[in-house]
Structure 1
Amino acid sequence: MPSFAELYAHLSTHNQCHLLQWWDHLDQRARDRLVAQLESIDFPLISRLSHEGHEDCSSGRDRAARATPPTQLIAQPKSPEDRDLWQQATARGESLLQDGVVGAILVAGGQGTRLGFDKPKGMFPIGPVSQRSLFQVFCEQLLARGRKAGTVIPYFVMTSDATHDETVAFFEENHFFGLKSRDVYFFRQGKLPAVDDQTGQILLADKGEIALSPDGHGGMVKALRTAGLLDEMRERGIETLYYHQVDNPTAIVCDPAFLGLHEMHQSDMSTKVVNKVSAEEKMGVLVSVDGQTQIIEYSDMPVARTREVEPDGTLRFRAGNTAMHVVRRGYLEELVDQGRDLPYHRAHKPVPYLAPTGERIQPEPTAKNAYKFEQFIFDILPMAATALVVEADRAAEFNPVKNQSGADSPDTSRAAICRLNREALRAMGAKVPDDIQVEISPLLALHELGLVTKIKPDQPIADGTILTP
């Protein structure tokens, strides 16, 4: 371990000596932990990011001013020609799955705090009847998709320090929801320090602890490499990765049509979008800037631009980001090997900290005192040689759980799940009353003959029905 003098000399070159203020109050274990944190920090990077206007901090509003609607967009099928294309894509995607070259990535580093749930969000009980967790919904989809293709689809689950241990334990307690433990890989996203918004100095959370926060879902690329998982993917023959986030239970995990369109267009990265319900909806939008496909966060899009309309009255910037992507594994390796780092986004936030007096300060929610830095996975889109945008069926595929009540809440998401299940049962000939709660396990829904063998013509379906294999 470096000496105090060596640490102090190193920190003094970056104006961060205050991080050692409480050194004499720490026991050896606490000192070791603090030194490990210090050694993990790229101080020149943090110094650059702390200064407003530096090129490492994304200039979203500048890009928004030059944005036009995305050019390379495949819309939902409407004509016979469209439907033929999507059928071809589905067949191509199913072939990729059968070849065993597809893996899935789940971003699950968030807590369920905004839902009033004090555990990892993936543990949230979203099943309208069964109370299945989000994790179970996704794992059963993946398991069923693999069984249908006659292969195994490995699952790469990105956690954070806040969710890692509970997430791993939850999977173990539930026997990985039918998946083999050897096919589920957990890895932690990285962290970056928060800095004082006036001085640029790194904040302390405690006398021997730096105020660190997750580095965003864009940190996934580095985290995969650090965990050795890009090498593992290559060794397993994984060439194509389906990416999704933990809050959308109706995402079609490893959607064959999406995989097929991505492959047919030889895309480095493809992304799904849905039409925004209004100009005010808080969604990032897919755009083209200087010929490059990009996503601009809603907070960076001027109000006037969000309200622009086409001649037919539809929103000009309506392609909302769903956080469902397909990416070529080799492309991620190229980004890392070539040192092509993603831009950093700086967020002004209220961050608890330890004052120089030793007092612990808890800012009010509106008292923003610090900057946090994040990378976003969608920022690899403009770096791609080829990028594709695919429109999803919003009603069927995008029903996220983001808020405790109102729009995008557990109530709206569960209602959507029930609606989709009622529609599936009616398509099989069952008699399904409106507004009843009914749930179909993905293990049954994705089975070739699952519902056909379970449902008879004119079979009545009762409220609270759960259909499983």
Structure 2
Amino acid sequence: MTREMAWDKLTAYGQEHLLRFYDDLDSEQQQALLEQIADLDVEYIHQLYQDLVEHRNIEIDDELSAMGSTTWSDVASEERQRLWESGLAAIGQGKVAAFLVAGGQGSRLGFEGPKGAYDIGLPSHKSLFQLQAERIRKIGLDAGFSIPWYIMTSPLNHGDTVRFFQKHDFFGLDPADIRFFPQGTLPSVDENGKILLAQRDRISANPDGSGGCFRAFKDAGLMDDLQERGIEYIFFYGVDNALVRVCDPYFIGFAIDQAKDIASKAVLKVHSGEKVGVYAYRNGKPSIIEYTELPEDLALAQDEQGRLVYGSANIVTHVFRTSFLNSALDKKTPYHVAHKAVEYVDEAGQLVKPLKPNAYKFEALYFDLFRYADDMAILNVSREEEFSPVKNFEGVDSKDTAREMFLNLCTSWVRNLDLEPAMPIEISPLLSIYGHDLDRTEVESRLKDTESGYLAP
């Protein structure tokens, strides 16, 4: 693209200011800027601003209705075993892949690097990535098949993520079964719809939200990879859950048994006012309803057993049928807008770091795709066993709460063997993921050998 072509493209939508510093740049910087402009869909950004900011329509008449669910603790042991065998068989036949959304940075945790590389302080000092990799490896060994693992990064952490896996020899997994791909981005605009410059030669851009993961997946050619591998079910999850049971055969079996487009794990809300999104139908379509959208009378409603009717909270753990994604990815999903403080270069070429919101970011949410599903199935699982997000440096949902929950769970497995450990216990996922397959004699022997509380294979 030439400067003249870029000028014509930008002036059509009032964005010619992006070339303001062009003549002051060296040839390499000029080329980099022109390449960014060539990739920029200015018409689309203009339309997003028009629709979401200038002429924003807020839906207030949505009709909400309850979505049924199954609670795992109510499932009989014989039925659990049947689901396990079904799920493990599907994994062993190569029908299941893992899809990890890992675009986040650890900055809120006081950590410089990909969030998945974060150490929550277990005796083993394993990262979130390693805990997940070892669960995948363990299930793969049990099923007799190496599970493909697709990992979405962000432009900011892509290189660091790949290098982290290389440094740790892919945690014992086959590198050929791990595919990394970066999330897409969208530019930020000021309050007048003008695209911001992050530097004189670089357009301000932010990740396009969790909903961009499938678009990026398709753009990377990975839908074709799924077809070539014969993948029928995709286990989709977020990076920050320290207790996530990746490719859980019980859950895979549940998804197969329910035969819906989507199956989702949930935890029951602690109380009606807990600030979490819940599963429900919005205008008859499967959806996640944010806590700010749920009227108080619905939030308080209880069933005959005294459980909250709208009580199944989203923990970002799903199984998608590949056939559903194939059909849904071509459908239009909405973008959402957020008013944020965004750094930018002003007319004088100086970097400005605003303290108050000055710009709009556009992002898509992955669960907006749910509306295209014929239906979905919900499985309520134990929060203490399966959900401990790491979002904050300290306090609630921090490394400290995640570490405590992880150790409490493993220690409870040991106590179930009529053993009383002298310290909190960490059990490697390669040794056990569920605890019920632990051998008492073997565990007792390992307890005598450990000084840190970590039990390795």
Band of TM-score, shorter chain: over 0.9
Q: Does 1:438 align with 2:425?
A: yes
Q: Return closer, same or farther for 1:56/1:49 CA change in 2, 3 Å cut-off.
A: farther
Q: Deviation at 1:107?
A: 0.9
Any stretches of 5+ residues in structure 1 without a counterpart? Answer: none
1:44-59 matches, cutoff 5 A: 44-53=43-52, 59=58
1:25-40 matches, cutoff 5 A: 25-40=24-39
Counterpart of 1:146?
A: 140
Question: Could you tell me whether the CA contact under 8 Å between 1:49 and 1:57 is conserved in 2?
Answer: no
Q: Tell me the secondary structure at the aligned position of residue 34 of structure 1.
A: helix
Q: Does 1:372 align with 2:365?
A: no
- Alignment partner for residue 245 of structure 1, among 234, 238, 246? 238
1:121-132 matches, cutoff 5 A: 121-132=115-126
Counterpart of 1:310?
A: 302
Aligned residue pairs, count: 455
Q: Return closer, same or farther for 1:209/1:185 CA change in 2, 3 Å cut-off.
A: same
Q: Return closer, same or farther for 1:311/1:152 CA change in 2, 3 Å cut-off.
A: closer
Rounded Cα–Cα distance in structure 2 between residues aligned with 1:281 and 1:196:
34
Q: Does 1:345 align with 2:336?
A: yes
1:23-422 matches, cutoff 5 A: 23-53=22-52, 59=58, 62=60, 65-71=62-68, 73-78=69-74, 80=76, 83-197=77-191, 199-298=192-291, 300-301=292-293, 304=296, 307-310=299-302, 314-336=307-329, 339-364=330-355, 367-422=356-411
Rounded Cα–Cα distance in structure 2 between residues aligned with 1:187 and 1:391:
31
Moved more, 345-354 or 280-289: 280-289
Q: Tell me the secondary structure at the aligned position of residue 248 of structure 1.
A: coil
Question: Could you tell me whether the CA contact under 8 Å between 2:102 and 2:239 is conserved in 1?
Answer: yes
Rounded Cα–Cα distance in structure 1 between residues aligned with 2:335 and 2:287:
15
CA deviations 1:352-401 (Å, max 9, x no partner) are 1111222211011xx11111111111111111123222212111100111
Any stretches of 5+ residues in structure 2 without a counterpart? Answer: none
Q: Return closer, same or farther for 1:350/1:291 CA change in 2, 3 Å cut-off.
A: same
Question: Could you tell me whether the CA contact under 8 Å between 1:129 and 1:437 is conserved in 2?
Answer: no
Kindly provide the amino acid, as one letter, of the partner of residue 443 in structure 1: L
CA deviations 1:411-454 (Å, max 9, x no partner) are 11100011110111122332235xx3211110011499654562
Kindly provide the amino acid, as one letter, of the partner of residue 165 in structure 1: G
Rounded Cα–Cα distance in structure 2 between residues aligned with 1:307 and 1:333:
34
Q: Deviation at 1:230?
A: 1.1
Kindly provide the amino acid, as one letter, of the partner of residue 66 in structure 2: P
TM-score scaled to structure 2, two decimals?
0.93
CA deviations 1:246-283 (Å, max 9, x no partner) are 10010111111211111112221221111122344332
Q: Deviation at 1:307?
A: 4.4
CA RMSD after TM alignment: 2.5
Rounded Cα–Cα distance in structure 2 between residues aligned with 1:23 and 1:174:
43
Question: Could you tell me whether the CA contact under 8 Å between 1:279 and 1:306 is conserved in 2?
Answer: no
Question: Could you tell me whether the CA contact under 8 Å between 1:106 and 1:156 is conserved in 2?
Answer: yes
Q: Return closer, same or farther for 1:5/1:332 CA change in 2, 3 Å cut-off.
A: same
Q: Tell me the secondary structure at the aligned position of residue 276 of structure 2.
A: coil
Rounded Cα–Cα distance in structure 2 between residues aligned with 1:99 and 1:6:
52
Question: Could you tell me whether the CA contact under 8 Å between 1:107 and 1:245 is conserved in 2?
Answer: yes
Moved more, 83-92 or 283-292: 83-92
Q: Deviation at 1:187?
A: 0.4
Rounded Cα–Cα distance in structure 1 between residues aligned with 2:425 and 2:105:
28
Q: Tell me the secondary structure at the aligned position of residue 51 of structure 1.
A: helix
Question: Could you tell me whether the CA contact under 8 Å between 2:339 and 2:357 is conserved in 1?
Answer: yes
Q: Deviation at 1:209?
A: 0.7
Question: Could you tell me whether the CA contact under 8 Å between 1:58 and 1:345 is conserved in 2?
Answer: no
Q: Tell me the secondary structure at the aligned position of residue 443 of structure 1.
A: coil
